[in-house]
Amino acid sequence: MKKSRRTDATVIINKIQQAQEKWRANNPTYAVDVSTTGLNVSTLTTATNDAAETLSSKFNGNDYYKINIKSNTSVGYTVTATAYGAQEQDTKCKFLVARILNGNITTTGANTLTLADSQISNNTDPDRCWSK
């Protein structure tokens, strides 16, 4: 069940990526506020905090991940999905991270954010926790 719930995170990350690419085609940097990209966030709870946006993905009445977008620049950004509520029991993949940099996406997952950030920075254990 925990593994299938990861789909909530990957779906919203994919939607964010598509919206960000559409936005970036006409703007000098990726968007800080993802709602400006045209992504319908009516089903999401948003709170902006210093160039990092936190979204709560709610699909089919579920609330399994908090989504954070940071490091928005002209060449990329990072999206982190943090397990929330019932999904916090997913101890192997509490954090799903996608980094978009210069048109390339790197993904990973881990039980701690420090480990996930390290894996994504060093490109070790790519695609961990991400179904293909």
Per residue of the chain (132 residues), give pLDDT as tens: 677 788 878 888 888 888 888 888 999 988 877 777 777 654 444 333 333 444 544 444 457 888 878 878 889 988 888 888 888 888 888 888 888 999 888 888 877 777 777 776 665 665 667 775
pTM: 0.76
CA pair distance 90, 109, nearest whole angstrom: 11
The conformation of residue 77, written as its DSSP 8-state character, comes to E
